[in-house]
């Protein structure tokens, strides 16, 4: 919460004030406007004045930092930079994790999972030979979902905004379920309209990011992924699995939603 909500908001707020990009905040009365204007154009004491010399170092530091905490009303540009900073933190975190040996092995299993799912969606037999040549980047991966969350948050936070830094922080927390729900629906619709330019473009960054979060698996990892998928398919009733395929625009005729085998438990129900 602090890394992906508070830190980007505070950094963007400070950047806009330091660069002089901050638009004037809305005020409730003429007097308050005159007061804010007077404070804005009041002469700043020089560093060598007696007032600053009498203040302890921590007071001088706080007074300097407090100037950058003046609330800035978020604009589209503000939220764009806020989103870019948030995305930068996310990419640095993911890349740092990928350097760890244990996490790298997890990413190899992640790639094996995608290869196995591609094999099943194409209606091929779940074997290592069929799974090996499949791509390890999947458009409906959780990584793609997180990237869509970043993009949706930029648009949604640009619509709902306040002149209070605290309110802007709280509204970002409150809108997390809304952002997640909209992102999920976009990922779900992208399965139905895979050829659409909009859905291709919005899920493409997540596919690119999977070059980091997935690694090429070995045959033993593919075997584990295949067995895991087989066990999960046993838990899916035939009708429920058919509805799932239809929701993703997969069809038996196209071979993307293969029929249940005669020996599978679900086919006997």
- The pLDDT score that the predictor gives to residue 156 is 86
| Cα 98–Cα 100–Cα 101 angle in degrees, nearest 5 | 110
Residue 265 has pLDDT above 60, yes or no: no
State the pLDDT confidence band at 60, using cuts at 50, 70 and 90. Answer: confident
Residue 173 lies in a domain: yes
C-beta neighbour count of 128 within 10 angstroms: 19
Work out the average pLDDT over 89-118. Answer: 92
What confidence score (pLDDT) does residue 180 get?
Answer: 92
Q: DSSP string of 229-253?
A: HHHHHHTS-HHHHHHHHHHTT--TT
| Within a domain: 84 | yes
Q: CB burial class (10 A; 0-12, 13-18, 19+) of residue 245?
A: middle
Q: Note whether residue 57 is domain-resident.
A: no
Q: Which residues form the domain of 161?
A: 73-234
- Torsion (CA) 182, 206, 169, 70 in degrees, nearest 10: -130
Q: Note the pLDDT tens digit of each residue in 5-22.
A: 888 888 888 888 888 777
What pLDDT is recorded for position 195?
A: 62
Question: What is the overall mean pLDDT for the chain?
Answer: 77
Residue 50 has pLDDT above 80, yes or no: no
pLDDT at position 56 over 90? no
Considering the domain boundaries, does residue 50 fall inside one? no
Q: Quickly state the pLDDT bin for 252 (edges 50, 70, 90).
A: very low
Phi and psi at residue 22, to the nearest 5°: -70, 120
Please enumerate in sequence order all residues whose Cβ is within 8 A of that of 225, keeping only pairs 6 or more positions apart, or say none. 109, 112, 113, 115, 116, 131, 217
- Cα 99 to Cα 39, 141, 146, 151: the distances in Å are 50, 21, 20, 26
The whole-number pLDDT of residue 61 equals: 76
Q: Which two three-digit tokens encode residue 167?
A: 């309110």
Q: To which H or E segment does residue 192 belong? A: helix 176-192
User: Domain for residue 245, yes or no?
Assistant: no
Q: Give tens-digit pLDDT for 201-251.
A: 888 888 899 999 999 999 999 999 999 998 888 777 665 555 556 555 554
Within a domain: residue 24? no
Q: Structurally, how many domains does the chain consist of?
A: 1
Higher pLDDT, 212 or 63: 212
Query: Residue 110 and residue 133: Cα distance in Å, rounded?
Result: 15
pLDDT above 90 covers a percentage of the chain that reads: 23
Whether 118 is in a domain gets the answer: yes
Do residues 131 and 115 lie in contact, with contact meaning Cβ atoms separated by under 8 Å? yes
Domain assignment present for residue 49? The answer is: no
Instruction: Tell me what pLDDT residue 78 has.
Output: 86
Confidence of residue 121 (pLDDT cuts 50, 70, 90): confident
Whole-number Å distance between alpha carbons of 223 and 193: 31
Mean pLDDT of 21-47: 50
| 23-27, 123-127, 145-149: least confidently modelled range | 23-27
Q: Would you state the pLDDT for residue 32?
A: 46
The pLDDT, as a whole number, for residue 105 is 93
Cα(123)–Cα(133) distance, integer angstroms: 14
Least confident of 57-66, 122-131, 233-242: 233-242
More confident residue, 41 or 145: 145
């Amino acid at each position: 919460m602090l890394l992906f909500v508070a830190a980007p908001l505070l950094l963007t707020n400070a950047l806009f004030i330091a660069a002089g990009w901050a638009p004037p905040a809305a005020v409730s009365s003429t007097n308050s406007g005159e007061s804010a204007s007077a404070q804005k154009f009041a002469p700043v004491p020089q560093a060598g004045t007696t007032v600053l010399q009498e203040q302890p170092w921590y007071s001088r530091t706080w007074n300097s930092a407090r100037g950058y905490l003046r609330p800035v009303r978020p604009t589209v540009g503000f939220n764009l930079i806020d989103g870019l900073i948030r995305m930068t933190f996310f990419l640095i975190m993911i890349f740092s994790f990928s350097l760890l040996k244990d996490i790298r092995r997890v990413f190899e299993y992640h790639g094996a999972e995608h290869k196995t799912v591609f094999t099943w969606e194409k209606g091929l037999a779940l074997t290592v030979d069929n799974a090996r040549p499949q791509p390890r980047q999947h458009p409906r991966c959780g990584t793609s979902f997180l990237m869509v969350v970043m993009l949706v948050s930029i648009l949604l936070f640009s619509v709902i905004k306040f002149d209070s830094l605290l309110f802007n922080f709280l509204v970002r927390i409150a809108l997390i379920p809304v952002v997640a729900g909209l992102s999920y629906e976009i990922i779900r619709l992208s399965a139905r309209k895979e050829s659409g330019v909009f859905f291709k473009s919005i899920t493409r960054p997540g596919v690119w990011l999977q070059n980091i979060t997935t690694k090429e698996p070995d045959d033993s990892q593919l075997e584990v992924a295949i067995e895991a998928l087989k066990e999960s398919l046993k838990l899916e009733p035939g009708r429920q699995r058919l509805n799932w395929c239809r929701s993703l625009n997969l069809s038996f005729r196209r071979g993307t939603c293969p029929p249940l085998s005669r020996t599978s438990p679900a086919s006997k129900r």
